[in-house]
Amino acid sequence: MKKSTWYRDLLVMLAALCVAGVAVVWVQRITGRIDGVAMLIFMLAVFVTSMYTDGYLWGVLASLASVLAVNFAFFTPYFAFNFTLPENLFSGLVMLAVSIMTSTLTTRVKKQEQLRMETEREKMRANLLRAVSHDLRTPITAIKGYVEGIQDGIAATPEKQQHYLDIVYNKTMVMEKLVRNMSDFSEYELGRMQYHFEYVDMLPFLQDLAEEYQDDVQQSGMTFQAELSKGSYTVTADRGKLKRVLDNLVSNAVKYGKPGGEIHFSAEEYEGGLVLQVTDNGKGISPQALHHVFDSFFRADAARTSSVPGSGLGLAICRSIVDSHHGKIWLTSEEGEGTRAFVYLPLQKEEGMA
């Protein structure tokens, strides 16, 4: 057992027992009696100790300490250990047995829950590998085919060769996103995602992104409109991670929007924060699926039945990033009408800025 863990578990046990002792004294002063209540309160302390410490040791120690505390302070003769009286001995043995059983059962249930969570994590890892390997297979096959087309002379003209190369480039971007999602999810799952926060002037930041999205969306055959409210909007953010969120929302709008449709990107101040919105006019998401869009590996019906690659991790990672910015992210959608994605970021107050 690591020293830090041992020290923490000791503090948890002592804190639970001290709180139990104070509670018993408080009840005794209010009611004037303590018969039976002391044992129940200290057994609750044993339960708390078992829940928030590792292994069986601390629960057993808390059980022994509780029996001694109750016998010493709350059984006659008060403030003296006496196990010679039959009632004291019997009560002590019963309390010890019940406390140890409570500690054992609680620890066992906790271990089973930990095992269940680990099983779920293993299942999620397997799902991730299966989803990514499946989704990587499609662009890899396409890249191989177009490269062979260039090598074999099928793309004989420079124009056709450039067309093939453009397709290969787009497919590699898809692969890059899938791999990045896998890497980000690994960091997200382990709680190791790194952030570099700074003051960000959002208007020029969003204007640069809008120009980038304009080109990307037009290449997909859709139209893009940006509506950014003029003004000074400063947030504390990680530029790269925030761009990652907006890239994902715009990418989803392109993938699942109506062919030849329109994507609208806007930003406006609202209740002390900045609300970013990405809207498409695609098929939308069913009400049932809408409740799960931020779950890891979840893909809505429209995504599952399409040939569009995806691991179902993008929005889960987006939510983690937005949460780390003390913001909120949510979606609204109507089937057949489209989807709206919202990101709320708290604005930095001027007096709090350096």
Q: With beta carbons less than 8 A apart as the criterion, state whether 38 and 74 touch.
A: yes
**84 or 15, higher pLDDT:** 15
Residue 35 CA to chain centroid, in angstroms?
47
Confidence at residue 257, expressed as pLDDT on a 0 to 100 scale? 85
Confidence at residue 354, expressed as pLDDT on a 0 to 100 scale? 38
Summarize pLDDT for 209-251 with one digit per residue, the tens: 999 899 888 888 899 999 988 878 899 999 999 998 999 899 8
- Pick from 60-64, 142-146, 173-177, 189-193: least confident: 189-193
Q: Which whole number is the average pLDDT over 340-349? A: 91
Per-residue confidence at 340, pLDDT binned at 50, 70, 90? very high
Q: Decide if pLDDT at 65 tops 60.
A: yes
pTM over cut 0.75 = no
The token pair at 157 is 């003209």
Summarize pLDDT for 7-49 with one digit per residue, the tens: 888 898 899 889 888 888 888 788 776 666 787 888 888 888 8
The token pair at 177 is 């996103």
CA dihedral 290, 294, 297, 298 (to 10 degrees): 0
Confidence at residue 278, expressed as pLDDT on a 0 to 100 scale? 96
CA dihedral 132, 137, 143, 148 (to 10 degrees): 160
Nearest to 205 by CA among 185, 174, 219, 226: 226
Summarize pLDDT for 203-217 with one digit per residue, the tens: 999 999 999 899 888
How would DSSP label each residue in 23-76?
A: HHHHHHHHHS--TTHHHHHHHHHHHHHHHTSSSSHHHHHHHHHHHHHHHHHTSS
Mean pLDDT of the chain, nearest integer: 81
Confidence at residue 12, expressed as pLDDT on a 0 to 100 scale? 87
Confidence at residue 303, expressed as pLDDT on a 0 to 100 scale? 46
Confidence at residue 107, expressed as pLDDT on a 0 to 100 scale? 77
Confidence at residue 13, expressed as pLDDT on a 0 to 100 scale? 86
Write down how long the chain is: 354
Q: Decide if pLDDT at 70 tops 60.
A: yes
Q: Which whole number is the average pLDDT over 51-55? A: 79
